[in-house]
Amino acid sequence: MFKRKSVAGRDFTVAMLPKNRIQVFFDRIKIRWNLLLLIGLIALVFALPLIVVRLFYLYETSQIYQQITDLNIEQDEGLARIIGLSNFIGLVNIPLWVFFSIGLAGIMRITKKIIWGEYLSMRHDFLLGIKENGWHFVFAFLVIAVIGFIGNYYYNRYFFLGHQSAAEGIIRFLPLAVTVTVIIPVFLFFLSMTVIYRDRFFVKIRSSIKLYLLTFPKTLTALVGCALPFAFLYIESNIFQFIYQFVLIIFFFPLIVNAWFLYSCYVFDKYINKMSFPEIVDKGIWR
């Protein structure tokens, strides 16, 4: 009865509202951090099979390298086993990425609601996102996973076995390079469009290609920024990898999704919304 009531340090004013998308990003971290953490936990559920398979791959490859170091097996035999294991893991990951895409369909709808400042019901919007966008997300991730497997297969041959000529090396590396610099950016635009517009699948693919071509330098820069947290996955420490994968999914992944969706909205406003959907231009921003 004698507890002191806590009051805000200052009154809320219109001037405190976010006036650009960078401010929206940090504003959502400040006031919706609990929802972002919940998104990370949801993502972990759908990413857990991928994490387990990757940890298995890291453990097995470290064992093979140790056997090579201890001279228990020949280097060529060890590298051949690593290549076979990598290709096998790539095949296993295809359905696991598809499973992850189902959860991402719901997460992206929740992200849109958070960024736009709309009313949100976590369970309802998550399930509705899967219902409305699940098939498009599944198909997109299936295409990316298959192309990624092909690129990884040729990259493994080039990295471990070498090549006879520079031209052959470029050809072997080309699928992976195209996946990273072309396929993934186009499909990321596609995913953002899917939770906003109700166009047909190939209409969104065509629009995503056009948007990527129109914003090529900016989009690659944005993707590099979003991909920075993934760079730590290349640190050669199994203990670090075990811990960091959970940190990446729970804490960094919701921020990455928010950052990419905000950038997508910026591009959509510039090339689509101003002419076709003026009612959603600058949505979530105080002008």
Question: Mean per-residue pLDDT for 171-180?
Answer: 76
In whole angstroms, give the CA distance from residue 247 to residue 122: 22
In whole angstroms, give the CA distance from residue 77 to residue 60: 14
Q: How confident is the model at residue 168 (pLDDT cuts 50, 70, 90)?
A: low
Supply φ then ψ for residue 71, to 5 degrees: 65, 25
Contact present, 56 and 85 (Cβ < 8 Å):
no
Q: How confident is the model at residue 65 (pLDDT cuts 50, 70, 90)?
A: confident
- pTM here is 0.89
Q: What is the pLDDT of residue 2?
A: 44
Contact present, 258 and 25 (Cβ < 8 Å):
yes
Residue bearing tokens 């959860």:
103
Q: How confident is the model at residue 80 (pLDDT cuts 50, 70, 90)?
A: confident
Q: How confident is the model at residue 76 (pLDDT cuts 50, 70, 90)?
A: confident
251: CB partners within 8 A, 6+ apart? 37, 40
